[in-house]
A and B are shown apart, each in its own frame.
Chain A
């Protein structure tokens, strides 16, 4: 009955077993960051991959989730879990707001991409001068390990937490894929006018997609803040996370459930490799990412998932 969720659940269970087998901090840290990027990418992928609305500014959601969790705890003394939830909701609401402003105005394609980039940059500049967000000095979440403060003593617990977040996000995406909303979202990506003629409320579909997308990516930001306990404007709203979010989806397989996870693992591995080979040469990681992006777009436009699919016989009865 719930067949379509089974593969996701199996992989999640396997990933959940990793800390029981592997005791290396290096490996767990690597996976934790990769899963966080996959989470941010899963949010991007819902709007960009399924809905065809390419955002260059998903940092605006990531940063808002991150700052919400930090500011609500540090400045207002709100419980970490509640702040975490509020961060996700805020990301979704911000998505609705940005969607309302851009989609209602009919912005598509590169215009939409540029406007999202502008939103992220404006947020970055505001966060770098606003006393509430710690301005240029940033904001520090006091270290208080414990379940209630959402600060995990062992690496495994933090890993399981981000895995759970990613799992929920992937299950949401997979559930959308096999529902009316998913069909309409893909129809909007493929041809807006035709979708409209078939009774699809294009604005509503896009708004719902950007709200979910914003909420998911905000949860990655909230996890970032809760893990590293320090934020400044460049970390939270910087272009790096906008790039990583879209890159994980594009490299892994745009518009697929598995794309962001696969892409994040590959990119994170590349980035570690780059650090080993090039030492601390600044910007080397981005050069590597740029090269990978060019190669993927040129030779595997459907990413790793697309490559894998082309290697086995085409499934005809897709449902």
Chain B
């Protein structure tokens, strides 16, 4: 059936939001990126060339990616089993687990990071646990170390790993596992060939969200590790708020933006490649 395309008046309702977002959001972001490539006489890469020729800036980039990697890994290792347990749980246990996941998500990051400053102290809870379990001989300071930063960041971002995996697991047919078992597939084989592929869209989603949040976090590193350790985001903030070096800040901000877009693009490609379950 072919219908002559005609104007649908309901479309007009989308106009205010679309216009607002183009003027206040899209144009400023495009201008920010474009200005980074604009020199005295037209297109130039000199801002990025000079940024990348500085060895210190490579340290900053590797700091950013390394912390984001470990944060994402911790979130995945803790988040996947938690999502599985959440999908299997029922009734009151499920509501309690959901509150434990959504409440921290809704409480401000400054509140949580402030609390982590207390937890990571030499006389803090984590040091006490590590000494009690014999991992450490004596209490040490975790605050202002990379381990402390990863622990705090993973705590803040864990819900963003659990929820996407949970919503995919909810949709998966539990009978598939039983079918595989009935057909004689051993548990390890079932995990790698049935359970994991089914959860994959959620894992890809959670990993990409957590990784991109972790690359762009600002408050968590500035409170948990301090000025000696710079990431792209803390350098961006410092460039604008302390150093008044807006050219540097705009360059690092654009690199952050490219990282974020690259992560979204990769995860879109991956989930398409795996065949979206929906």
Q: Are A and B physically bound partners?
A: no
